[in-house]
Amino acid sequence: MLRTLLSSALALVLVAGCTQPGHDGADGATAPDPASTTDAATTEASAMTDDATPDATAASDDPSREIATFGAGCFWCVEAVLEQIEGVHDVVSGYMGGEVANPTYKEVCTGTTGHAEVVQVHFDPSVVGFADLVEVFWDLHDPTTLNRQGADVGTQYRSAIFYHSEAQREAAEAGKAAANPRFDGRIVTEISAASTFYEAEDYHQDYYFANRDQPYCRAVISPKLKKLGLKY
């Protein structure tokens, strides 16, 4: 399923991680210290005090589209994959599943707010179904590691599917059961009802394609996209 979806994406699309020291991608590469990297990293450091924008909507404003919300470690990486899938119209990085209102990126990175880094996917279900996106989700990260992806450790990096309807919950549970035999370990992905979504700060949006020369992007995200046969 992933191969079919990604092949379609490449035909139609010409076309996410933190730069905190110690933030690593699913492949285990360490992100560079932001003090020694690009201007983008400097922008990130200066913007860390900006509050995230809340969005409590459970459905897309466009009735022809649906929303899916996934947590799979660093949102820069997840966004860079899912925005290349045919039928996906928008991918927004943000935070969900915590107890603190209007969290900042800096706060979420401490692991104390309860939020997961997530992406909210706006998609056309007549082109790509929610179950198809769940299949891609299993392949873009390791769902068997609890509260970590690679060397990124903390509840903010947990594997999670936040469902927006009963149909999504059922599809997520079915997908999880079907995918389990494909992995050496047991899938530990959290499947929970969607709560308030806080859109991440502007500099996180479309981060990879705006900062492909940033060392973290070159070391972690580009190899992941290349491995999946996507544009990088």
Active site residues: 74
Residue pair 214/40 in contact (Cβ under 8 Å)? The answer is yes
Please provide the distance, in angstroms rounded to a whole number, between the alpha carbons at the two ends of the chain: 21
What are 139's two structure tokens? 């392949």
Query: Cis omega before residue 17 (within 30°)?
Result: yes
Q: Which of 155, 163, 125, 159 is nearest to 142 (CA)?
A: 159
H and E: helices and strands count for the chain: 9, 9
